[in-house]
Amino acid sequence: PVTRADVLGEVDAGFKVAMRTLNLLRPSVGAFAVGMAQRALDLALVHARERTAFGGPLRDLQAVSHQLAEMATRTEAARLLVYAAASAYDSGQPDVTRRSAMAKLLATETAQYVVDAAVQIHGARALERGHPLEHLYREVRAPRIYEGATEVQRTIIAKELYR
């Protein structure tokens, strides 16, 4: 049996504590995802500079350079949203739930996109066992699920828009 001495915090307030904890953990997952995206982008930039095709480096091909620009832009946007959510949490902003969900959503979806695009730029070599992108390609899926799947984040954001 649980006695009064065993109770932490307020009785019947555990769910609120859990939800506040998610407001901290979601930007943390977002930061992890931004790191994955940045690593994939860095690998793609090096590869596009060093790999030649059609008489020059891949980066000189407009399709590749535009893809890299998109990857970099999305990664930076996700990074800034994670920073904003962390700042909102630290300063106790009333919209921290929405900001945390947005940061987690954008960062994890961005990581999936950037890793996939980096694999595409590298070609089959990126899927060889031991290649850093092979590892990222396998691992990037999980952050889109934990601390609330993508669909859960969208539900939270939609509800928070009307508060």
Which of 109, 147, 151, 160 is an active site residue? 147
Beta-ladder partners of 57:
52
What are the structure tokens assigned to 33, written together?
Answer: 């995802």
Angle at 18 between CA 87 and CA 104, to 5 degrees: 45
Q: Is 147 a catalytic residue?
A: yes
User: Residue ranges of the alpha helices (H) in the chain?
Assistant: 14-50, 62-90, 96-122, 132-139, 150-160
Q: Give the residue numbers marked as catalytic.
A: 147
